[in-house]
Amino acid sequence: MIDCVPALDDVLDRLHVVALPMRVRFRGITVREVALIDGPAGWGEFGAFPEYEPPEASAWLAAAIEAAYRPAPVARRDRIPINATVPAVEPDQVPAVLARFPGAGTAKVKVAEPGQTLADDVARVNAVREHVPVVRVDANGGWSVPEAISAAEALTADGALEYLEQPCATVEELAELRAQVKVPIAADESIRKADDPLRVVALGAADVAVLKVAPLGGVARMLDIAAQIDMPIVVSSALDSAVGIGRGLLAAAALPELRHACGLGTGGLFVEDVAEPRVPVDGCLTVSAVVPDPARLSTLAAPAPRRQWWIERVRACHPLICA
């Protein structure tokens, strides 16, 4: 994935493992653990979710090593518009969530949450529409094609959607759905978790590509994929700490064109972070490198057993990032 991988011992010597408490349950968790690398070129973040096995998680480590050891790409812009991110909360919680994204004119709403119904999704989306003009939804592949068709109809009954993000799990399903609904389709997992991230293009399965730096192996790899995809790009967070958000902002800043708000405002989901939280101004975040606060690194340090778990995970992934 990257050339000239630094020695494992050097990476481990630079490792900090932190546990970030979250304001609300998101993606099934209330504490987000990540391993940070204090490298010669800056800070990198390795935050592959615990269920990801080394072959998949190794791309996340490659992204962290790129940030810690490689020069940054040239930015074309210094401010990035971001969307508000609304977890699968009750409608009465929506105003409090949106308050963490001042000035955001776009909101991404989580839908298809296990244990919830389409009626729950409609109520949440409509609650968001009362405050934000542009709404997109993210199903994380949770619907079949018939379910997604019904959802598209129900969720647009009271207003438009910018797009449906990953409504179904497979590229073939996205292509089938796209031929049957008028709502634009965005692909996320079908790109970042695919052996061939360009298959979405080959099958005409999406209108928008959602790209995430860490799962794709770093900023350079993400920009390479973006250059081969003839559709608008949305750079999004993988529930990153401030360090990872900084890399996402840099990636968005390096794109030749940026038509849509990016999903890089998720820092507001954390109670505490490793650096002072970035607060959107007029719905935008500024592009700059992030250096964690040493006091926060100490306060948020994961317990020793969890630090060891991440060390062993780095050991398992490190040999794979040259493959």
Q: Which two tokens stand for residue 121?
A: 């999704």
| Cα-based distances in Å from 55 to 33, 51, 150, 291, 319 | 19, 12, 36, 29, 10
Q: Which two tokens stand for residue 309?
A: 């778990």
Q: Residues annotated in the binding site for Mg(2+), as ranges?
A: 138, 165, 188
Alpha-carbon distance of 216 to 39, in angstroms, equals 20
The residue from 108, 110, 182, 193 that is catalytic is 110
Confirm whether 110 is a catalytic residue: yes
Confirm whether 212 is a catalytic residue: yes
Amino acid at 279: V
**What residues are labeled active site?**
110, 212
